[in-house]
Amino acid sequence: MGGYGFYVWSSYIIFFVTISYVFIVNLMKLNEKKKKLINLEKHSDQSS
């Protein structure tokens, strides 16, 4: 990388780590919300 290795690799690592982190966090949040919704739907069926 002709002396620029540190800069190039660190920017690619920052890029991919950030987007992977964002992806995983949101996917976990989606599954959590899905479970919550199913529980609530059960609850509202029982109460009605």
Partner 1 sequence: MYLKLKKSYFDVLDRFTPFLIIMTIVSFIIGSYFALYGSPPDYIQGDSMRIMYVHVPSAWWALMSYSVLAVSCTIWFITRNPFFNLIAKSIAPIGAVFTLIALVTGSIWGKPTWGVWWVWDARLTSMLLLFFLYLAYIFLWQAISNKDLASKISAALAMIGFINVPIIKFSVDWWNTLHQPASISKLSSPSIDESMLIPLFIMAFASLCFLITMFSVRLRIEFIESRISRLRQKIYD
Q: Which residues bind partner 1 (CB under 8 A)?
A: 1-5, 7-8, 10-12, 14-16, 18-19, 22-23, 26-27, 29-30, 33-34, 36-37, 40-41, 43-44, 47
Q: Are 9 and 1 in contact (CB under 8 A)?
A: yes
Tokens 């949040």 map to which residue? 29
The enclosing H or E element of 2 equals: none
Q: How far is the CB of 27 from partner 1 (least distance, A)?
A: 6
Q: How far is the CB of 28 from partner 1 (least distance, A)?
A: 10
- Which amino acid, residue 9? W
Q: How far is the CB of 8 from partner 1 (least distance, A)?
A: 5
